[in-house]
Structure 1
Amino acid sequence: MPVPTGLAAATCVLLGLAVLADVFSLGVGRQYYGLWSGLGEEGIPTALEEFERVERLYRLSGVVQTVTFLVCGIVFIVWFRQMRENAQLFAPDAHRKSPGWAVWGWIVPVVSLWFPRRITLDIWTASELRRDVPDAPRTPVTIVNVWWTVWICDVTLGNLASRYLVRADEADAIKQAVGLLMVADVLDIGAAVMAIVVVRRLTRMQQRRAAWTDSGQDSPLEASGQPA
């Protein structure tokens, strides 16, 4: 059974690039916030040229974030779909959503708030070696729940802050919106790091399960790669 290790590696690399994009946005956002805090009288920037330069950089950081998010999202969903197909072979009875939702669950509004987490947990359960070997060690799902909680907070805050920034027409309102977007960037970094952990751990689980299925080993420790 082919486990998508190459896709997993590519997904992790792209998630790393997304983190770098967020760090870039945070750095520029801090400068942008500081410039709005230092407005002169009548709302005129004290250094107009510097203000325009930082504003251009801030807009560029948003574009970089969007591009990395889209590319990373596409590769992640391709990996996720393959993991769901493998999990179907491991345990056809462990899934509460049809395979198509492994893609559409990320796209359809409203259901995207909980369908992907539910599918991830089902893949996790189906991929555990202990379904075949009761004595095999359990892999806690805590990281999945933490990842999803941070991700939902990130998406919610980011959307609200972006809309607030578009409507803001005063310095204080713009500062608040930029500050909220910086918090969203921090959450996005946390969600990306935890997503890397989820991708690596789930891929490793399927590798062990596939090795067990293909070789028919008698020892769960051998299949899990742990020392006897």
Structure 2
Amino acid sequence: MSAFPSALPHGPLEEIFPNVFFVTGAMETRLMDADWCFSRNMTVVRDGERLIVINSVRLDEAGLAALDRLGRVTDVVRLGALHGRDDPFYVEHYQARYWAMPGMTHESGLPADETLSPDDELPIRDAQLFRFHTTTIPEGILRIDRDGGILVACDALQNWVEPDAFFSADSIERMQAMGFFTPANIGPLWMQNAEPGREDFDRLLTLDFRHALCGHGAPLRDTAREDYTATVDRLFS
């Protein structure tokens, strides 16, 4: 296991909706000639006895033990081109199938076992895949048909209301200036890299959903569709 990036600090694995679990942890990286430390989220969906890991965050030994008590990890899903640091760990540790968007390659060389497609079978039985068409990098969102509709997003949708315990002081200062701490936001750095068109978001907002679990920020409950509609109108006016 030493070949993989080590586990960074993280919080507890919590059941946000029935059979849908969520954990927030740290991410350390270097971007734009600066060191960054901020938070990121992993969502785990239980489908029968199977566990599907989305936006992976490596857990420490106690966290892995808590995960194992929930079921058996069988699948790892990569929705965003800018995430994936801990995917190889989960794929090898659990001998899991690896799912990724078309055109998405992992920097470690880890190949995808399955391609995520709106028209093909997905690892979650009651899920559908939304795929961005206008972006310069691959990105997808899963809609799970539970509790009025739950979106599981990576970078395209965010909900950082305020900094949390996993941020460094320098990262807080930079990200405040860049507008990251905005409820029901579209990721500012992702917008720069992906260059999405409004038509993708208009198509996304035709889906029926109430909640959003994003790769960054707190769970957004009950008003997600209305809140993201307002954000799209503001950013693409």
Give your verdict on TM over 0.5. no
Which entry has the higher C-alpha Rg, 1 or 2?
1
| Greater fraction strand | 2
Give the TM-score normalised by structure 1: 0.23
| Greater fraction helix | 1
Task: Flag the structure with more relative contact order, 1 or 2, with Cα contacts below 8 A and sequence separation at least 6.
Answer: 1
Give the TM-score normalised by structure 2: 0.23
